[in-house]
Amino acid sequence: MNKEKIRISKEEIKQYLPHRDPFLFVDEITEVVPGINAVGLKKFSGNENFFEGHFPNLPILPGVILVEMCAQVSAFILLTVDKFKSAFGFLVGIDDFKFIKKVNPGDTVKVVANMLNVKFGIAKSYVEAFVDDNLVAKGIIAVK
């Protein structure tokens, strides 16, 4: 298994994930060590349509979008391992996920995902999401 850090651009991300705009929530994978960890970024401009209704006059990023971003970033831990390159990388579980602070339009979210284990082709990762250096969410994500 390659332990070297890899950087993955938005165009290259599409070679790994089946997601496309408007449901691709990763702009860049700043680093991934296959089978170990991944770090990804997404800038939420405020022009995304979900901000219109969540909530009028007080737009914040929906928690489900933040969970999906965490799943997409954590999928790279699995999908960059040769043995799992043909995996789909979709969300199959969420455990003990906590939302700590709100994410506002214009914020850039950084997700740090660390592999916990892989069993039966399902990878569990502990994820933390940050805006600037402030923790906004954390929990365990499972992808397959």
Rg (CA), the chain: 14
**Structural contact between residues 59 and 105, judged by C-beta atoms closer than 8 angstroms:** yes
Is 54 labeled as catalytic in the residue annotation? yes
Separation of alpha carbons 98 and 94, rounded Å: 10
Separation of alpha carbons 65 and 116, rounded Å: 22
Active-site option among 54, 102, 138, 144: 54
Task: Tell me, rounded to whole angstroms, the distance of Cα 55 from its chain centroid.
Answer: 23
Active site positions, annotated? 54
